[in-house]
Structure 1
Amino acid sequence: MKDTGAGQDTDAEDTGAEDTGAQDAGAGKDTGAQEAGARCERVARQALGLTDLRPGQLAAMTALARGRDVLVVMPTGAGKSAIYQVPALLLPGPTVVVSPLIALQRDQVEALREHDEAAASLDAGTSAGRRRTTFESLRAGETEFLFCAPEQLARPDVVRDLAEVEPSLLVVDEAHLISSWGHDFRPDYLRLGSLARALGRPAIAALTATAAPPVRAEIAERLGLRDPLEIVQGFDRPNISLEVRRMLDDPAPEIVAAVREEAGPGIVYTAVRRQTCRLSGLLNEAGVRAAPYHAGLRRSERDDVHGRFMAGELDVVVATSAFGMGIDKSDVRFVLHAEVPGSPDAYYQEIGRAGRDGEAARAVLFYRPEDLGLQRYFTSAVPDLETLTRVAEAVAEAGPGSDRKALRERTGLSPRRLTLLLDLLERTGAVELGARRVGPAPGGPGPATAAELARRLAERRRDVERTRLEMMRRYAETGDCRRRFLLGYFGEQLADPCGDCDNCRAGTAGRQPEESGPFPAHARVVHRTWGAGEVVQVGEDRLTVLFDTAGYRELQLDAVLEQRLLTEAPPGSQLR
């Protein structure tokens, strides 16, 4: 229930925590922040039973309670839900939580109800009567939390009803799904920025477990976050041992042997659907209780595999990346990859499903260089000019306020495909996207020019994706500490070797050099060809730079210095 003694301190002043969450909001720069922090602590204790808040939680809660947007990157199990639940009980209107999984929504609803907090969920299976009752309860102030999938927010009637209840907080869970830089991009998330405006622009909490710097930048841009407090906590998972096994032939026999050596449940990830059935069959023949999981299975089949795994009736699930969010099983002891994933983002998200109980776990990548070709194929698609032009012409001819359904009928494209193309056209300045309507942007380029510009954007996105795959290759082939490599990719520096990866055990990992050179980690730089970027890793003889438009590039330090390839970026330059 709402904290009636909370007051309405909802301005967006500084909470006292900058970008790491390390400072307590109660030690902020002004009395308002201190008072808001004290109220958050009281509500956390009284309503949710939280007596010891984790690093970063209080700063984020305090910012939201004062109406400031936040972007929070914390591992699963680190308390992201409490970050929005506490300020939700302090702010005057209801809270809308966007979550991609129905099962996860229902779990969160039940958890809130156990604390006597009114919560409801909305999905495609919700009856008209229950939908009506839910919104009546929201309007009456009887229900605080509404959970819904992004697909529901594409419905004009849902957006209209939500706008009428005047939510004070919009929560975007799994926020990395809005980013084309991310490993699991979902077009349905693209509408959330315009949704926030349609709802009267409440405070926004963007939450995710894994997001590299470009993903964080795009989350903020696409959601339209205003001066967000960014809190990034704990990418390191020191209880997960890292290993890469270089393979010359089919890794299946090695994978079966590795699984049989492990104790406890685990996940085997593979890049293609047919491999899930093949590997699970081989594991069952070896006496391991295994089942396949991929998006091509019927929902009932996927639900059955998920349920049996969570209940301990399966030892191993062999899956594509479709087996992901919502797998909150604390005792997963190993995650094996039969092929190299498309990026360190995807890899780190997937191995992070191991060892959530804090006990020792293992992550093993079975690496064949030829498997990189499959991932390059996955990133090769670029929309053709004819289709882009057709969509741009359809928008121009329909005029302002065109209905998306009418555009789908006019172009013959699926909802997902149309959303992706409209997003590209919006970025050219040719299209304006609202929560429900689409229209031509005043003064924007014509259809033919817009299509050409959109195709160039898609080509650049593809090229950047390939640089992320190159970083995955570097991870697989490095002789240095693997944990240090992964943490550096996400913007965290580890000076000493971790001691618990195969390279550290083999003695090939060295100590990170002191950052006394001209280009330390996080320095903003400019390259004569690739433009502005940020140094993400500093090695003994090389730099890795994330360029704003060219992606990740590895540069030899000697060449950088001798040829003056990099210069310091102007003050205030930011990743875009």
Structure 2
Amino acid sequence: MTVDTALRSRAADVFGWHLRPAQETVIDAVLAGRDALALMPTGSGKSAIHQVAALALDGPVVVVSPLVALQEDQVVGIEVHPDAPRAVTINATRSHRELDDAWGAVAGGEVGYVFLAPEQLAKDGIVERLRDAGVALVTVDEAHCVSSWGHDFRPDYLVLGEVVERLGRPPVLAMTATGSTPVRTEIVERLGMRDPLVLATGFDRPELRLEVRRHEDEEGKREALVAQVTELSGSGIVYVATRAETLVYADELVEAGRRAKPYHAGLRVRDREAVHHAFLGGDVDVVVATSAFGMGIDKPDVRFVVHADVPESIDAYYQEVGRAGRDRDVALATMHYRAEDLGLRRFFASGSPRPASLRAVFDAVPATGTLPRSELAAASGLAARTAGRAANALVDAGVLADDASGLHRVPGGPASADAAADRSRAHATEREQIEESRITMMRRFAETGGCRRQFLLGYFGDELPEPCGNCDTCTAGTATAADAHPADGSHDVEWPPDATVEHAEWGRGTVMSTEDDCITVFFESAGYRTLSLADVEERDLLERV
């Protein structure tokens, strides 16, 4: 089945778009009432899927998006097309009059798209209004935020699965530019997707040149980065690990003659928005930012992304470097690397709620019945953020369940607060092991002598048969050396990517990639593990399931 001629023509008339085959495949699925997960690179036209689908649907499309700036950008993008359905945003920045007008239009059937953040859907009144409007499709943008394996987990996304049910179970469209196999699996599970179409168009961004520069000390690294960015032309982003570093690097770049500004979550909203708009408008060349700067940066001509510190995972790295070269022109991604920087990432990965908070939340939830999320802070005596983190940890550990009526204890689960806290802590320890494995994969990427693109794509199960020719190791010649061992799919016949395997100690896992002498598998209980194929065969370590 393909998008019919009438809809294809209307998409061209309304938006000026000629749909690609991958877009048409996903549109067909949701119009047929099927859930879909679209994994498509940045700049590949994911938003066109729900925008065109709305032209053929009887009812509004709800678009869940994590940032107000991202919502506003999409609405503006729709409004420039006068024949497109009306788009409205529902968020805290809107005045009462604007919200009343938006809801009136929704109720009157005048709206094709409703953009809102996931925290808005935690409000019963908003869900009821949307249900009454007859929502035809729920689109979850930046869907990796729903996955606790992902690099940008947002607890507010956890409500979406039960919200979809309360809306009458319209089809769900989840979209992201990045998603390794464990992230994809959790997106499907947590959104309650039913037999979804999963379409991945490939993760390669061949126009991006990938580089890693190694340093012995922090001062030398900072000097080298400032010197590099000073010489680079065009606009770019420098990612750092801490808020303090945004100020340090921005000041040094300004002194070196670049129009640079710091950006982090601790800035006032209006200051963040000022930097955002100055960057989009060309008044700022370089933004020095923590990971808070990224989603919603719809600037096609970013020419470079430079990392001053190691990202927390390859998932995060890929998402961040993907903000360069969205116009498909050549762009540069450079990571300045010190092995010692990995210690900071381990520190960030080790946080979990305190046992006292876990016990307080467990005790606040009645032994029978439910506790609405809105009453959790008062019932537990904790700050709302602390209570929310503890509740999410208990849900993640299978101690509590979270549904339309609120939080309740899982039948057959721990009966005491101490036992509940112990189980949650044990689960958190397992998660920390997985985070450690992701950091190890990041170290392997930084230190490999093989083709960096082959390594990167292999992590996502999207192998590249030959070295790319557009990374520093290819330029240096090490990528083609006999001992390079690239993730080239040498043993995909025996161990195909995404195949399910069983290990005696680590349980079930998913094959990510193979090299000439080893295999990388993601285990839910142990994270990423790279095993010698000789050991696998001689000791019968893995069994295909």
TM-score, normalisation: structure 2: 0.94
Counterpart of 1:345 in structure 2: which amino acid? Answer: D
Q: Could you give the per-residue CA deviations for residues 345-400 of structure 1, whole angstroms, max 9, x where no partner exists? A: 00011111111111111111111000000000001112233321211110126x53
Report the Cα distance in structure 2 between the residues aligned to 1:559 and 1:429, rounded to whole angstroms.
35
Determine helix, strand or coil for the equivalent of 1:56.
helix
Which one of the candidate residues 164, 167, 173 is aligned to 1:199? 167
Gaps of 5+ in 2: 481-485
Within a 5 Å distance, the mapping from 1:61-210 to structure 2 comes to: 61-115=27-81, 116=83, 117-210=85-178
Q: Distance in 1 between matches of 2:528 and 2:179?
A: 15
Find the counterpart in structure 1 of residue 365 from structure 2. 395
**Among 210, 213, 219, the residue aligned to 2:181:** 213
Pairs within 5 Å for 1:338-487: 338-396=308-366, 400-435=369-404, 437-448=406-417, 449-487=419-457
Q: Given that residues 492 and 514 in structure 2 are in contact (C-alpha distance below 8 angstroms), is that contact kept between their aligned partners in structure 1?
A: no
Task: Indicate the residue corresponding to 2:509 in structure 1.
Answer: 533
Deviation, 1:54, is 1.8
Residue 32 of structure 1 corresponds to which residue in structure 2?
Answer: none
**2:460 corresponds to 1:493:** no
Which whole-Å CA distance do the structure 2 matches of 1:101 and 1:428 have between them?
Answer: 28
CA contact 1:54–1:78 (8 Å) conserved in 2: no
Distance in 1 (alpha carbons) for counterparts of 2:438 and 2:393: 21
RMSD: 1.9
Q: CA deviation at 1:498?
A: 0.2
Distance 1:200 1:98 in 2: 17
Q: Which residue of 2 aligns with 1:555?
A: 531
1:516, CA displacement in angstroms? 6.2
**Equivalent residue, structure 2, for 1:7:** none
Q: Which moved more, 1:427-436 or 1:385-394?
A: 427-436
User: What's the offset of the Cα at 1:497?
Assistant: 0.3
Give the deviation of 1:44 after TM superposition: 2.2
Q: What's the secondary structure of 1:333's corresponding residue?
A: strand
Residue aligning to 2:295: 325
Alpha-carbon distance in 2 for matches of 1:550, 1:390? 29
Q: CA deviation at 1:297?
A: 1.1
Residue 426 of structure 1, CA deviation: 2.9
Q: Is the 8 Å Cα contact of residues 140 and 174 (structure 2) preserved in structure 1?
A: yes
Question: Which residue of 2 is the match for residue 4 of structure 1?
Answer: none
> Contact 2:7–2:55 (CA<8 Å) still a contact in 1?
no
Equivalent residue number for residue 483 of structure 2: none
Task: Work out whether residues 382 and 462 of structure 1, in 8 Å CA contact, stay in contact via their aligned partners in 2.
Answer: no
1:244 maps to 2:212: yes
From the superposition, tell whether residues 404 and 236 of structure 1 become closer, same or farther in structure 2 (CA, over 3 Å): same
Identity %: 49
Partner of 1:21: none
- State the TM-score, normalized to the length of structure 1: 0.89
Deviation of 1:419 (Å): 2.9
**Contact in 2 for aligned 1:255/1:338 (Cα 8 Å):** yes
Q: Provide the rounded CA distance (Å) in 2 between the counterparts of 1:46 and 1:331.
A: 27
| Residues 519-528 or 318-327, more deviating | 519-528
* Contact 2:150 2:183 (C-alpha < 8 Å) held by counterparts: yes
- Three-state SS of the structure 1 residue aligned to 2:366 is helix
- In structure 2, what is the equivalent of residue 13 of structure 1? none
**What whole-Å deviation, never above 9, does each CA across 1:241-265 have from its counterpart, x for those lacking one?**
1111110012110001111221111
Q: Deviations over 1:461-508 (max 9, x none)?
A: 221111111100000011100001001111101000001111111111
Measured after TM superposition, the shift of residue 123 of structure 1 is 0.6
SS in 2 for 1:461: helix
CA contact (8 A) 1:344 1:486 kept: yes
More displaced stretch, 280-289 vs 367-376:
280-289
Amino acid at match of 1:477: E
Q: Secondary structure at the match of 1:326?
A: coil
Task: Quote the offset at 1:198 in angstroms.
Answer: 1.4
Structure 2 SS opposite 1:238: coil
- Give the 3-state SS of the residue equivalent to 1:353 in structure 2: coil
Q: Please state whether the residue corresponding to 2:175 is helix, strand or coil.
A: strand
Does the aligned pair in 2 maintain the 1:382–1:459 contact within 8 Å? no
Farther off after superposition, 345-354 or 404-413: 404-413
Counterpart pick for 1:543 among 501, 505, 519 = 519
Alignment partners' CA distance in 2, 1:436 and 1:309: 43
Consecutive unaligned residues of structure 1, counting only runs of 5 or more, are 1-24, 27-35, 570-576
In the alignment, residue 205 of structure 1 is paired with which amino acid?
A: L
Contact 2:464 2:489 (C-alpha < 8 Å) held by counterparts: no
Q: Distance in 1 between matches of 2:519 and 2:259?
A: 45
Give secondary structure in 2 for the equivalent of 1:364. strand
Which stretch shifts more, 244-253 or 437-446?
437-446
The residue that corresponds to 1:47 in the other structure is 14
| Matched AA of 2:17 | L
State how far apart, in whole Å, the 1-side matches of 2:401 and 2:155 are: 16
Q: Which moved more, 1:137-146 or 1:245-254?
A: 137-146
Tell whether the 8 Å contact from 2:363 to 2:380 is kept in structure 1 after alignment.
no
- C-alpha separation between the residues in 2 aligned to 1:492 and 1:415? 41
**Does structure 1 residue 310 correspond to structure 2 residue 310?**
no
Distance 1:562 1:517 in 2: 18
Residue 247 of structure 2 corresponds to: 277
Task: Give the Cα–Cα distance (whole angstroms) in 2 for the partners of residues 430 and 350 of structure 1.
Answer: 34
**Within 2, Cα distance between the matches of 1:435 and 1:135?**
23
Instruction: Tell me if the contact between 2:139 and 2:173 (Cα under 8 Å) persists in the aligned partners.
Output: yes
Partners of 2:396 and 2:335 in 1: CA distance = 37
Contact kept? 2:359, 2:421, Cα under 8 Å: yes
Separation of aligned partners in 2, 1:522 and 1:404: 37
Report if the CA contact (8 A) 2:202-2:462 is conserved: no
Contact 1:40–1:61 (CA under 8 A) maintained in structure 2: no
